[in-house]
Amino acid sequence: MDLKNLFRPSTMAVIGVSTSQDNHPANVIYNKNHLRYPVKTFPVNPKGGILNREILYKSVGHIQEDIDMAVIAVRAEHVPKVVEQCIKKGVGGAVIISGGFSESGNFDLQKRVVDIAKEASFPFIGPNCLGIYAPDYVDTFFLPGERIIRPDKGNVGFVSQSGGVLVDQMVKFAGQGIGVSLAVSIGNKAHIRETDMLDWFDRDLATKVITFYIEGFEKKEGRKFIQKAEQCSKPVVVLKAGKSRKGIEAVSSHTASLAGDYRVFSEIMKQYCVAEADNEYELTSFCEALSCYPKGINANVGIISLSGGHGVIAADACELYGISIPAIDQETMDIIKGKLSPGIRDIVSLENPLDLTGSSVDSDIVATARYLSRDKNIDCVLALLIPYSPGVSTDIGAKLSQVARNEDKPMIAYVPNEDKYKIIIEGFELNNIPVASSVEGAVLMAKALKRCRPC
Amino acid sequence: MLKKNIKEIMEKSKLSGWVLEPDVKALMKLQGLDIPDFVLTNSFEEADRFFKKSGGPVVAKAVSKKILHKTEHDAVVTGIFSSGQLKIEMARLQKLEGCENILVEQMIKGIELIIGAKNDYQFGAVTVLGIGGTSVEIYNDTAIRMAPLKPGDVYSMVESLKAKEIVKGYRGRPGVNMEKLTHLMVGFSCLIMEMEDDIESVDLNPVICTKDRCVIADARIMLQRS
């Protein structure tokens, strides 16, 4: 199944545009793409007519040009007919926004649409979904452009069963400066499902991390998903909803009662090195960390802080998430001590977590990061930077990024997410070093690398 | 050969919905997994000969289609040290509801594990490892992996248990023979893959592990409700 026409369309028909309702989903989609995206967009309404001085096509068949993709936003009962028209016209795929299918008990209607599409190898997303947000290409979310916060173009691919969760996550990504390559709300996932999306993202050069919000799989679909994830060359992150045990019938064996649906899901994700995030905040941290470092680590972190308190908070979080803080070689400590400014040599603590104190300057932090990275016991450096410390310059992000690159060991930074410190944050992020906005967030990023496959 | 045996045993057990202990153990033995020496009989003389030959304490259990959870019906007697005790217990067990036979087995002491399997709706056959006994649900200290298992999975399962130190050997006590445990779990997970469509779940509980052996001391298969 070729999904290129769906995700990288040059031409698009929006079917179901209304002449009377400005806020009809089809109108919102038509307007935003027509005005703000490079995709050439054609409005369709069976009754014809005129909208904003544009002539409405009576059917997709009436459009002269080839159509890569159609957005279908007509009433559920008309969807089979419209899909047939799209197939006849040779459209490359569709996003079916319309609701009123399996989610409201209309299984037969949904099956009819799937049967028609499958017979013609016609891929479609949905129904009952928001569809596709492909930065620089197309946006079928029926939310007015001025109301939503969109992340920039980036390298995270996101697939969600829920449109609402997807939009929420977009806001969080944008806030953390995480960009997406493609975000898809698959709704009832009647035809294109998680496994198809995994195939697409695995081959997509713009995507480095593949993320899923999953409510549930069909019979044995989980096995298929995990087998694909195992073979996939990129880190896979999941957020699972529907974890509670309610509704599980009484079981008669120990095993059946111990292996509830969610525990099975979660343990199997671990078995195959799929990073399961516990909640949406973790998901955000995981995506940021894995988009910078696709390789796994054992999570033996060396922590550099400028205040004892930050080091202790980080150490507590490390213990909570199963991340170890190994002892540093005496030799490493001696070298670091020799490189520090004379003024702080006798007041620092070089045991892990290292406390360089508020009197340290850039060169102390850089030297510590360099030699800590070379310690064989450490496979990841957490740099907890408090930018209000007087000796820290605005160049510290860029300087530490150089160290991380030269030493080839993952570095994760913590800098408070304030406009004032943007220059430091960008110094890291533009050099592909992930920055967390809390100490715990930095530790969660290390957890993500631990959960990702070791290679 | 194995497939034919599986089919026969499954067919036979369909009515009750679960497979009796001696039948499950027969399947496990065919798969090359370790079970205790046993005799299945209603004759005290035969049981006594087995007891004397085995030279150590034995366990006696009632085999009954009516008794799913044996402990709850007092249908298991461990630590039988004398012929006299064996005679009294056999007579009592034979009076339990639906008792067809008495299973007399050598008694092995060691670390008790539960090894289980389930046909999961989303993932198919999965295997479970935990500390065994009758209180497993209370501690809920288990590791779950998708079947079939690779040897490395068994090590990571042990590593992820809270009670991993018990499995590895704790306070001078010997731990579990990991090679034998791996052999058992990998073999079991392959067997489960073959039976996947027929089963709802399998309990091998307890599996008794010493530094030399991992022996399936009790077993039960719950069949898929059709």
Which is nearest to A134 in space by CA: A204, A174, A184, A202?
A184
User: Could you give the ipTM of this predicted complex?
Assistant: 0.89
Measured between CB atoms, which of A218, A220, A253 is closest to B220?
A253
Put simply, whether A256 touches B (Cβ < 8 Å) is yes
Which is nearest to A274 in space by CA: A179, A198, A171, A205?
A198
- Across the interface, whether the CB atoms of B123 and A216 are under 8 A apart is answered no
Contact indicator for B176, B212 with CB cutoff of 8 Å:
no
Instruction: State yes or no: pLDDT of B2 exceeds 80.
Output: no
Tens digit of pLDDT at every position of chain A (455 positions) = 789 999 999 999 999 999 999 899 999 999 999 999 999 999 999 999 998 889 999 999 999 999 999 999 999 999 999 999 999 999 999 999 999 999 999 999 999 999 999 999 999 999 999 999 999 999 999 988 888 889 999 999 999 999 999 999 999 999 888 999 999 999 999 999 999 999 999 999 999 999 999 998 999 999 999 999 999 999 999 999 887 765 445 556 777 777 788 999 999 999 999 999 999 999 999 999 999 998 889 999 999 999 999 999 999 999 999 999 999 999 999 999 999 999 999 999 999 999 999 999 999 999 999 999 999 999 999 999 989 989 999 999 999 999 999 999 999 999 998 899 999 999 999 999 999 999 999 999 999 999 875 54
φ/ψ of B18, rounded to 5, equals: -150, 160
Instruction: Please list every residue in chain B whose beta carbon sits closer than 8 Å to the beta carbon of residue A271.
Output: 145-146, 153, 156
Which is nearest to A12 in space by CA: A43, A49, A50?
A43
State how far the Cα of B199 lies from the Cα of B96, in Å rounded to an integer.
Answer: 27
Put simply, whether A220 touches B (Cβ < 8 Å) is yes
Beta bridge partners of B58: B80, B106
**Rounded to the nearest 5 degrees, what angle is found at the Cα of A232, between the Cα atoms of A229 and A233?**
140
Task: Give the best residue of A215, A221, A240, A255 to mutate against chain B (max B CB count within 10 A).
Answer: A255
Residue A212 φ/ψ region, left for φ over 0, alpha for ψ in the -120 to 50 degree band, beta for the rest = beta
In chain B, domain spans: 2-34+109-223, 38-106
Q: Quick: pLDDT tens for A392-420.
A: 999 999 999 999 999 999 999 999 988 99
Instruction: Please list every residue in chain A whose beta carbon sits closer than 8 Å to the beta carbon of residue B130.
Output: 258
Q: What share of chain A is helix, strand, coil (3-state, %, to 5)?
A: 40, 15, 40
Give the A:B interface size as CB pairs under 8 Å: 94
Of how many residues is chain B composed?
Answer: 226
- Across the interface, whether the CB atoms of A264 and B220 are under 8 A apart is answered no
φ/ψ of B5, rounded to 5, equals: -65, -40
Measured between CB atoms, which of A223, A257, A267 is closest to B144?
A267
Closest approach of A451 to chain B, Cα-based (Å): 14
- Across the interface, whether the CB atoms of A264 and B142 are under 8 A apart is answered no
CB atoms within 10 A of CB A250: 6
Which is nearest to A434 in space by CA: B18, A447, B13?
A447
DSSP per-residue string spanning A278-326 = SSHHHHHHHHHHHHH--S----BEEEEESSHHHHHHHHHHHHHTT-B-P
Closest approach of A60 to chain B, Cα-based (Å): 39
Contact indicator for B220, B207 with CB cutoff of 8 Å:
no
Closest approach of A148 to chain B, Cα-based (Å): 35
Peptide bond before A43: cis, by omega within 30 degrees of 0? no
CATH superfamily, region B38-106: ATP-grasp fold, A domain (3.30.1490.20)
Instruction: State yes or no: pLDDT of B199 exceeds 50.
Output: yes
CATH topology for B2-34+109-223 is D-amino Acid Aminotransferase; Chain A, domain 1 (3.30.470)
Closest approach of B148 to chain A, Cα-based (Å): 12
List domains and CATH numbers for chain A: 1-128 (3.40.50.720), 149-292 (3.40.50.261), 297-451 (3.40.50.261)
**pLDDT computed for residue B140 by the predictor:** 85
**pLDDT computed for residue A238 by the predictor:** 96
Q: Quick: pLDDT tens for A84-138.
A: 999 999 999 999 999 999 999 999 999 999 999 999 999 999 999 999 999 999 9
Contact residues for A30 (Cβ-Cβ < 8 A; gap 6+): A14, A17, A41, A43, A51
